Amino acid sequence: MWSHEPGPVSEHVEMLGNMAFPCFSVTGTETALVDAGITVIAALLEERFGDGRRLDKVLLTHTHYDHVGCMGVLRRLSPGLKLLASSEAQTILAKPKVHDFILDMNRTDEESLGYQGEPIPLALADLQVDRVLGDGDILELGAGVTVQAFAAPGHTRCSMVFLIMPDKVLVGGESLGAYVSPEEIQAQGVSSFNEYLESLHKLATLDFEILAMPHQGVRRGPEVKSHAQVAIRTAEAFRSEVLQKIDAGADLRQVALEMSKKLRHGISAGQPEKAFQINLASMIRSILAERGENKAT
């Protein structure tokens, strides 16, 4: 079953924001938020955490702009808040150029999505990772609620997923792929296509019953057991098609244009255009580089 409205996901997990740009709240005696979202959902997070409701931790699936944009807002709403992420994320987010890019991309989406308010503040210090998470680390949130972190590189070098127990909810960024339908989960191997596939094989071994996805809502029930296998099959088909086009004489721009026309349908059509094209070109470059080629221009 697929659901896309914000609200309870399980006993201890709730989707905040909206399907396109969600965050997932996990509550025991402490509360953690998986991802900080894009700046245009700041008002929704202010409504949730601006009344004194406690937020203790933010856990990052990865460092892309739409997953960290509201860190400034959340730190101001919850003094003492801790940001937890991979060691790679800690290194990436410490770079001023990364901060500037995150701001630029959020401002672009504020404009394209019709946001009319004041620019949402985000300082470099807001992106400081307070605790590094390693593969397999377990966080105790109290009342029997735990979150286990798993390294899942491929979409980015810094990607992680989080298994919430006892709810058996797996919260992941684009390491889970981009859900379009039960038969199509589009590839998201931006930093390394090979590592993206390896991470999908790893995720297939985890014990979960609900998938909280990065931009496509929530999947639950027996069908989630096939999610990773469908994502693997779709990714392998994508890679094969890219290489066939390159071998037929197309350059990266031509391949990206043709693949974009094919992929931009259903839920996928709702992704901001600039981000979509950046990710698509990066995936094609990764595929070529891992075949030992450098035809990217």
* 116-125 per-position pLDDT tens digit: 888 889 999 9
Closest CA to 33 of 41, 43, 42, 45: 45
132 pLDDT more than 60: yes
Angle between helices 227-247 and 252-263 (to 10 degrees): 140
Q: Is the pLDDT of residue 60 over 50?
A: yes
Predicted pLDDT of residue 294? 57
The pLDDT-based confidence of 297 (bands split at 50, 70, 90) is very low
pLDDT at 4 over 60: yes
Average pLDDT value for residue range 157-182: 96
pLDDT at position 169 over 50: yes
Distance CA 188, CA 195 (A): 11
Residue 128 token pair: 């400081």
- What's the predicted TM-score (pTM) here? 0.93
pLDDT on residue 296: 45
pLDDT for the residue numbered 118: 84
**Closest of 96, 103, 92, 34 to residue 65, by C-alpha:** 103
